[in-house]
């Protein structure tokens, strides 16, 4: 499976959810965080995950091996 835009979006979405759970766990531990800081944590973790996610790769014509299932129909 080649990484693509959907991979980056999925990784970024999961990072946002992880950040939200992290803020919730910190709240359970009585570590209060202003809403703006909690939002910033979510944005930073999501941006970092999106940056580190595999970049989209594309194949140009002629780079497909014979019988490659990913080859577009002509």
Radius of gyration of the chain measured on its C-alpha atoms: 19
More confident of the two residues 70 and 1: 70
**Whether the predicted model's global pTM rises above the 0.75 cut:** no
Break the chain into its structural domains and give their ranges: 5-52
Would you give the DSSP letter of residue 54?
P
Mean pLDDT of the chain: 77
CA distance 35 to 49: 21
């Amino acid at each position: 499976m080649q990484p693509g835009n959907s991979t980056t979006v999925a990784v970024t979405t999961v990072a946002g959810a992880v950040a939200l759970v992290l803020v919730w766990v910190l709240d359970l531990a009585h570590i209060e965080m202003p809403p703006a800081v909690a939002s910033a944590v979510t944005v930073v973790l999501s941006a970092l995950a999106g940056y580190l996610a595999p970049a989209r790769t594309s194949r140009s014509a002629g780079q497909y091996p014979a019988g490659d299932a990913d080859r577009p129909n002509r």
